[in-house]
Amino acid sequence: MPRNGEADSAATATETGFTPAQWNVIYLLVTIGALVAALCVAIQPLLLDKIFGIAFEKEGAINADIQVVAEIVSIICVGWFGLLSDRIGRVRIIAAGFLIAIIGAALSLVSLEVGLTVGTGGLALFYLTRVAVAVGADTVQLQLSTLVGDVSSHANRPRLLGNVVFMMVFGGTMLSAIVMQMAEYHGGVFIIMSLPLLAGVAGFRMTRATLKDVAPVHDGDVHPLKQVWAVVSGDPRMQLAFAAAFYTRADVIILSLFFSLWCISVSDLVGVTRTFATAHAAVMVGLLGLAVLAAVPLWKGFIQRHSRISAIGASLSLAAVGYIWLGMFANPFNWLVALPLIMVGIGHAGCSVTLQVLTVDVSPKPILGSMVGAGYLVGGIGTVMLVQSGGYYFDALGPRAPFVLMGTGKMLVTLYAGWLLLNGIDETSDHHLKSTRKVDWKPLVFLTAALPFVWLLGRSVIEGYFTSGSLGEAPVGFVNRYLGDWAFTFLIISLAMRPVQEVLGLRSLARYRRMVGLFAFFYAVLHVVAYVTLEWALNFGDMGADITKRPFILLGLLAFCLLLPLAFTSADNQIKRIGGKRWKALHSATYVINCLVALHFIFAANHENGEPYLYAAAVVLLLWYRVHQWRGGNVLRALRLG
């Protein structure tokens, strides 16, 4: 376990009230939780290939979709567990997390057989098991980090949370890389699938027998998420931290999933088996883990001597360069790819430790669980968006594309950190904020929302799609689907902002809703333009024939026509000209638009995954909220926790 001898263990026990044996159990449980989460991601491509028989040309999207589904459910469940832990304690939630993981791991062993027997299909049940294991393992890791934050002080926080990150990475990379080597042997895949079940049982028993809660129970009248918003809005460091969490939490998942898929995709070309390719990918991810383990002690000292903003900027820039460098390699079996992976690992270590330390530094103790849960929420949203985009990029642009996506995103947040420092927003020597100046979120929201377009444009230029002289070389289907997905994503986010604002009482969210809605319109325009120009080169006769064959296109065009007046009347002067009541009536068409787009997506998408139905479910939930309010229901009272 990560400790500096018996004296250090004794000192830690004196400072926190935990015995050395209890600290060993905490670190062991962190390792188990990380191992369970990592094994499910690492074994997934091999299971879909060998057991479920997914066609190679669909592997990127299917793997990404499964991860996206797991992350979406985790965002809801694990974030809510963070809120609940402030009220009932961390230990109960940790034990519940292990139980959820146990159920998921047990079902995964029989998912194919049971799914085929009951008629739902093995892949559908596999989605469910992956979700359960992800929710359980993520809950365990999050609550253990929060428990350590409860007992830490300003002096020992970098060391204790650095130890947590060390063990998390050790279990999620090193141990999982070793375990994955069994995939090459007879029965090895079954053994790997069984380990999360056994580890979950052991973790549950140790949690119940050893751990105890130390944080006071939060019983305030103010909604905890409203308090979280006040803390984050009032401290630019936390705004930077949440932006960094958006890209950092996805690191291990992106590398484990897409590096493994990359190795599998070229295995036939280099003359190796797919099981060997999977094992090789696990070794390389294990090297990344070694880099993280070696870097954690160095970053603990760096964080103590420098500002948190500088630490986040430095670590993100290292990881960004590593990702972009990795995207320049042609062969994943070239051992030199270890160098950029090591660079990503060093950057990931620094950012992970800094984010945890900064969150505990800034958070009021009664809402620490809510603050940590909010950070997980942002990281989960980032993982969903990045994995989903990465899957499309992998299939359409090549296996290195997801790594370039990650690198450019991290560079964006690095620039934001530099902007804060240039504007005099930094820390004193004892890590207090020098300036009380508030920073508006609009620049960060704008840059983040524009990133999908900037990345697609840059990637198209790099690949020569605009200079080749032939539209046929462009991945037209990918571009069209990509732009449509982002248009729908921003439509749903825009639709969800008002309920979130009303439920949580966050009135300041209103200032960003218009920007998000206009970005939805922006991507919708590009989606239509891509269909008319790239796909049919302005040949309206062929376009009409295509619409006849695929009538769902009419649903999309109708939604776009309804969206036009909403975009053109979004300015303040238009509201005054039209009148408030008429403007609100006009913009209520957004509900019809979302329904039309949901149907368009369902009929247009591949039905081998549940992604279109998840989008549709989100629309239905938001519509239910609005209808319930129109009828005078007590939806706010039902949804509020405080």
Residue 353 included in any domain: yes
Residue 8 included in any domain: no
Tell me, yes or no, whether 142 and 291 share the same domain.
yes
Residue 14 included in any domain: no
Place 475 in a pLDDT band, splitting at 50, 70 and 90: low
Q: If we measure between CA atoms, which residue out of 36, 312, 299 comes closest to residue 161?
A: 299
Highest mean pLDDT among 11-25, 67-81, 172-186, 325-339: 325-339
Residue 438 included in any domain: no
Residue 259 pLDDT more than 70?
yes
Tell me, yes or no, whether 463 and 415 share the same domain.
no
User: Residue 395 is part of which domain span?
Assistant: 21-212+224-432
CA distance 389 to 387: 5
What's residue 466's pLDDT? 43
CA distance 344 to 327: 12
Tell me, yes or no, whether 545 and 585 share the same domain.
yes
Instruction: Give the end of a domain, one of 369, 398, 432.
Output: 432
Residue 433's beta-bridge partner residues? 427
**Residues sharing a CB contact under 8 Å with residue 541, sequence separation 6 or more, in sequence order:** none
Give the pair of three-digit tokens for residue 487.
């248009």
Q: Residue 589, Cβ neighbours under 10 Å: how many?
A: 15
Q: Assess contact for 175 and 291: CB atoms under 8 A.
A: no
CA distance 620 to 598: 10
Residue 615 pLDDT more than 70?
yes
Mean pLDDT (the chain, rounded): 79
String of b and e for 460-499 (b: at least 16 CB within 10 Å)?
A: beebebeeeeeeeebbbebbbbbbbbbbbbbbbbbbbbbb
Place 642 in a pLDDT band, splitting at 50, 70 and 90: very low
Average pLDDT over residues 215-231: 70
The CA radius of gyration of the chain, in Å to the nearest whole number, is 24
% of the chain residues with pLDDT over 70: 82
Give the pair of three-digit tokens for residue 620.
């239905």
Query: Higher-confidence residue: 428 or 475?
Result: 428
Query: Higher-confidence residue: 455 or 530?
Result: 530
Tell me, yes or no, whether 283 and 135 share the same domain.
yes
Q: What is the CATH number of the domain that holds 386?
A: 1.20.1250.20
Q: How far is CA 520 from the centre of its chain?
A: 20
CA distance 143 to 369: 8
Residue 206 pLDDT more than 90?
yes
CA distances from 636 to 83, 494, 535, 588, 642 (A): 17, 19, 45, 20, 11
Instruction: Give the end of a domain, one of 432, 466, 485.
Output: 432
Residue 234 pLDDT more than 70?
yes
Average pLDDT over residues 336-348: 93
CA distance 505 to 210: 39
What's residue 506's pLDDT? 67
Q: Residue 195, Cβ neighbours under 10 Å: how many?
A: 19
Instruction: Give the end of a domain, one of 432, 467, 501.
Output: 432
Query: Higher-confidence residue: 213 or 59?
Result: 213
CA distances from 623 to 492, 493, 602, 612 (A): 11, 13, 18, 17
CA distance 371 to 365: 10
CA distance 609 to 507: 36
Average the pLDDT over each of 48-52, 86-90, 173-177 and give the range with the smallest value. 48-52
Tell me, yes or no, whether 606 and 490 share the same domain.
yes
What's residue 317's pLDDT? 94
The total domain count for the chain is 2
Quote the strand ranges of 317-400, DSSP E.
none
Place 93 in a pLDDT band, splitting at 50, 70 and 90: very high
CA distance 379 to 409: 13
Helix extents (H) in 510-610: 510-529, 540-549, 552-568, 572-578, 580-587, 589-604
Place 641 in a pLDDT band, splitting at 50, 70 and 90: very low
Average pLDDT over residues 88-117: 81
Residue 612 included in any domain: yes
Place 339 in a pLDDT band, splitting at 50, 70 and 90: very high
How large is the angle between the packed helices 510-529 and 552-568, nearest 10 degrees? Answer: 130
- The one-letter amino acid at 499: P
What's residue 640's pLDDT? 44
Average pLDDT over residues 404-424: 85
Average the pLDDT over each of 93-97, 102-106, 153-157 and give the range with the smallest value. 153-157
What's residue 327's pLDDT? 84
How large is the angle between the packed helices 589-604 and 552-568, nearest 10 degrees? Answer: 150
Average pLDDT over residues 515-528: 89
Tell me, yes or no, whether 496 and 375 share the same domain.
no
Handedness of CA 337, 340, 345, 348 (dihedral sign): negative
Residue 162 included in any domain: yes
pTM comes to 0.69
What's residue 453's pLDDT? 83
What's residue 341's pLDDT? 93
Place 465 in a pLDDT band, splitting at 50, 70 and 90: very low
Query: Higher-confidence residue: 320 or 440?
Result: 320
Tell me, yes or no, whether 158 and 200 share the same domain.
yes
CA distances from 605 to 58, 171, 194, 550 (A): 13, 37, 34, 12
Residue 3 included in any domain: no
* 6-56 residue pLDDT tens: 444 444 444 456 788 889 999 999 999 988 888 877 777 767 766 666 665
CA distance 410 to 351: 11
Tell me, yes or no, whether 207 and 320 share the same domain.
yes
Tell me, yes or no, whether 285 and 244 share the same domain.
yes
Average the pLDDT over each of 127-141, 505-519, 536-550 and give the range with the smallest value. 536-550
Residue 70 pLDDT more than 90?
no
Q: If we measure between CA atoms, which residue out of 621, 625, 370, 595 comes closest to residue 499?
A: 625
- The one-letter amino acid at 106: A
Q: Is 443 exposed, middle or buried (0-12, 13-18, 19+ CB in 10 A)?
A: exposed
Average pLDDT over residues 543-557: 79
Q: Assess contact for 427 and 307: CB atoms under 8 A.
A: yes
Average the pLDDT over each of 239-253, 470-484, 536-550 and give the range with the smallest value. 470-484
CA distance 565 to 12: 63
CA distance 376 to 380: 6
Average pLDDT over residues 346-355: 91
Average pLDDT over residues 95-104: 92
Tell me which DSSP letter residue 459 carries: H
* 375-397 residue pLDDT tens: 888 887 888 778 777 776 777 67
CA distance 342 to 319: 9
Tally the residues of the chain: 642
What's residue 98's pLDDT? 94
Average pLDDT over residues 454-476: 54
Tell me, yes or no, whether 460 and 600 share the same domain.
yes
Residue 5 included in any domain: no
